[in-house]
């Protein structure tokens, strides 16, 4: 007996197929947009959340050296770090006499978490016509933005530390070593002198950490260094490449090598200080006073560039390696708190003072011991990828989608000043690198 089957009896199973962006009719190809109650958006969000975090992790360097403190849900927007105070050494006992006991307690530090975020909007025409995956590409770049933001928050918090070494002033002609400067403005790198990172300076930093009894991280001290500074060290005698002392799974993200017991992590976001140009048509200005200046002064006349009134308020200038913050300016006069720059002749160059002497870029390399600083891991408010389809947010005509992220800041806080040593230096790229 021959049976005739009506396939339309089974058609219902294929008329509504859940797809990644809509409902699809398997027989006709017709598509229907998700409605507000039935959507696979959470599944898509999970995927892009993972993509965002994976991309962000590849550029995370400081956080891997931090002590992490959890912030439970419902505990407000701040966390209190506590550290035990240390005891003095024991004294000799006197027979039959009870010694004076030492006070014991804690020091507390409070850090707040704040919310950060950004997004981009993509038009429906771009989404339809673009050959590449627009949302995937935006997610990748958002991950890079997230990593850079988090790195900068930690980096900037660490700069508040008071434990600082400045590189020695080295004579280029014979390599003789002079006394280190006492500020960034004294760091130079020109035809006569340089203040670069050297093996001797690394050894000096390691010695200071040891003398300060700073505990180590897995038996080593670590430093986060800018690539421009790292290049100056790689040719040093005793430098050991990371792959020669550890397997890939045993080294920190970005770890490049070891010198004098310090393991170095290379980070393009390591601090570079380099002030913007002082004038719209010149990087520097010049003193404009025939008699020159000497002793403490509160203002000086200048020329050599076009400057609008009040344009330089808050900027730092550097003259003869000494700096001052501008409190007021006209097109020809700079005003600042009383400062002694030494003897200033007419036409002396006035440099941007946010970096090193003569307006060059200077670099901060951070050396770390165990638990030197802490960051907060909030139970709620971690990095979240947020994708809104045009049907949700695109206005009355569904004209754009948005892709973005938000997160709670890490509240980076130095716990022990002696365990976070900042070493300021120049590099062979000081004349060309920009600040970050």
Tens-digit pLDDT profile for residues 154-205: 999 999 999 999 999 999 999 999 889 888 888 999 999 999 999 999 999 9
127 near 96, Cβ under 8 Å? no
Q: How far apart are CA 351 and CA 333, in angstroms?
A: 15
User: Which range, 16-25, 215-224, 395-404, 409-418, has the best average confidence (pLDDT)?
Assistant: 215-224
What's residue 43's pLDDT?
Answer: 44
Task: Put residue 306 in one of left, alpha, beta given phi > 0 → left and psi -120 to 50 → alpha.
Answer: beta
Residue 175 DSSP SS3: coil
Arithmetic mean of pLDDT, 338-357: 94
Output phi, psi for 225, to 5 deg.
Answer: -130, 145
304 near 289, Cβ under 8 Å? no
Arithmetic mean of pLDDT, 319-332: 94
CA–CA distance from 418 to each of 9, 86, 237 (Å)?
78, 13, 28
- Least confident range from 198-202, 337-341, 409-413: namely 409-413
pLDDT tens string 232-258: 999 898 999 988 887 766 789 899 999
pLDDT tens string 99-111: 887 776 667 667 7
CA–CA distance from 40 to each of 30, 53, 132, 246, 419 (Å)?
18, 20, 22, 44, 49
Q: How far apart are CA 224 and CA 271, in angstroms?
A: 10
Q: How far apart are CA 325 and CA 405, in angstroms?
A: 37
Query: Quick count: other Cβ atoms within 10 Å of Cβ 279?
Result: 18
Arithmetic mean of pLDDT, 141-159: 87
What's residue 39's pLDDT?
Answer: 41
Please check the confidence at residue 74 and state whether its pLDDT lies above 70: no
Q: Which residues pair with 137 in a beta bridge?
A: none
pLDDT tens string 251-299: 898 999 999 999 999 999 899 999 999 999 999 999 999 999 999 999 9
277 near 283, Cβ under 8 Å? yes
Arithmetic mean of pLDDT, 58-83: 72
And the tokens for 299? Answer: 């203002």
382 near 71, Cβ under 8 Å? no
Nearest by Cα to 170 from 436, 427, 342: 427
Q: Higher-confidence residue: 228 or 103? A: 228
Please check the confidence at residue 126 and state whether its pLDDT lies above 50: yes
Antiparallel, parallel or unpaired: β 349-352 and 285-287: antiparallel
Output phi, psi for 312, to 5 deg.
Answer: -100, 5
Query: Quick count: other Cβ atoms within 10 Å of Cβ 233?
Result: 24
Provide CB contacts within 8 A for 305, sequence distance 6+: 278, 279, 280, 281, 282, 284, 285
Axis crossing angle, helix 41-57 with helix 134-158, rounded to the nearest 10? 40
What's residue 21's pLDDT?
Answer: 55
**Long-range contact set of residues 185-188: C-beta below 8 Å, sequence gap at least 24:** 185/318, 185/321, 185/322, 185/323, 185/353, 185/356, 185/357, 186/321, 186/356, 186/357, 187/356, 187/357, 187/360, 187/362, 187/424, 187/425, 187/426, 188/321, 188/356, 188/357, 188/358, 188/360, 188/426
28-62: b (≥16 Cβ within 10 Å) or e: eeeeeebeeeebeeeebeebbbebbbebbeebbbb
And the tokens for 59? Answer: 């550029």
Q: Distance between alpha carbon 260 and the CA centroid of its chain, in Å? A: 25
Residue 95 DSSP SS3: coil
pLDDT tens string 10-69: 445 455 554 555 666 656 777 776 554 444 344 445 555 555 555 555 567 898 999 887
And the tokens for 105? Answer: 């307690």
What's residue 1's pLDDT?
Answer: 47
Arithmetic mean of pLDDT, 378-402: 77
Q: Distance between alpha carbon 362 and the CA centroid of its chain, in Å? A: 15
91-114: b (≥16 Cβ within 10 Å) or e: eeeeeeeeeeeeeeeeeeeebebe
Arithmetic mean of pLDDT, 125-153: 77
What's residue 56's pLDDT?
Answer: 54
């Amino acid at each position: 007996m021959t049976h005739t089957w009506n396939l339309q009896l089974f058609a219902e199973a294929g008329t509504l197929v859940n797809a990644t962006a809509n409902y699809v009719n398997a027989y006709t190809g017709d598509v229907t947009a998700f409605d507000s109650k039935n959507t696979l958006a959470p599944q898509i969000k999970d995927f892009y959340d993972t993509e965002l975090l994976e991309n962000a992790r590849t550029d995370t360097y400081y956080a891997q050296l931090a002590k992490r403190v959890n912030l439970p849900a419902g505990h407000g927007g701040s966390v209190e770090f506590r550290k035990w105070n240390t005891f003095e050494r024991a004294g000799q006992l006197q027979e039959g006499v009870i010694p004076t006991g030492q006070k014991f307690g804690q020091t507390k530090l409070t850090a707040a978490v704040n919310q950060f975020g950004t997004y981009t909007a993509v038009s429906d025409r771009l989404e339809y016509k673009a050959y590449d995956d627009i949302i995937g590409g935006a997610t990748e770049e958002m991950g890079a933005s997230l990593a850079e933001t988090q790195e900068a928050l930690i980096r900037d918090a660490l700069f508040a530390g008071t434990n600082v070494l400045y590189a020695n002033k080295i004579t280029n002609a014979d390599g003789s070593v002079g006394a280190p400067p006492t500020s960034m403005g004294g760091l130079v790198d020109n035809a006569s002198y340089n203040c670069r990172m050297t093996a001797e300076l690394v050894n000096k930093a390691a010695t200071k950490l040891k003398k300060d009894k700073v505990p180590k991280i897995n038996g080593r001290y670590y430093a986060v260094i800018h690539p421009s500074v790292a290049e100056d060290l790689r040719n040093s005698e005793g430098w050991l490449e990371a792959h020669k002392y550890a397997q890939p799974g045993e080294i920190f993200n970005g770890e490049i090598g070891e010198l004098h017991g310090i393991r170095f992590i290379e980070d393009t976001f390591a601090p570079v200080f380099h002030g913007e140009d002082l004038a719209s048509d010149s990087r520097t200005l010049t003193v404009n006073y025939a008699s020159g200046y000497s002793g403490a002064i509160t203002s000086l006349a200048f020329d050599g560039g076009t400057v609008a009134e009040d344009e330089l308020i808050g900027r730092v200038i550097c003259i003869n390696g000494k700096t001052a913050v501008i409190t007021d300016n006209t097109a020809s006069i700079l005003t600042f708190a009383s400062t002694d720059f030494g003897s200033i002749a007419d036409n002396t160059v006035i440099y941007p003072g946010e970096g090193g002497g003569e307006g060059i870029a200077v670099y901060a390399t951070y050396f770390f011991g165990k638990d030197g600083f802490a960051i907060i891991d909030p139970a709620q408010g971690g990095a979240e990828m947020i994708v809104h389809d045009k049907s949700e947010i695109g206005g009355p005509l569904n004209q754009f989608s948005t892709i973005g992220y938000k997160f709670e800041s890490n509240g980076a806080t130095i716990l022990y000043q002696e365990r976070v040593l900042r070493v300021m230096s120049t590099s062979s790229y000081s004349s060309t690198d920009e600040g970050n």
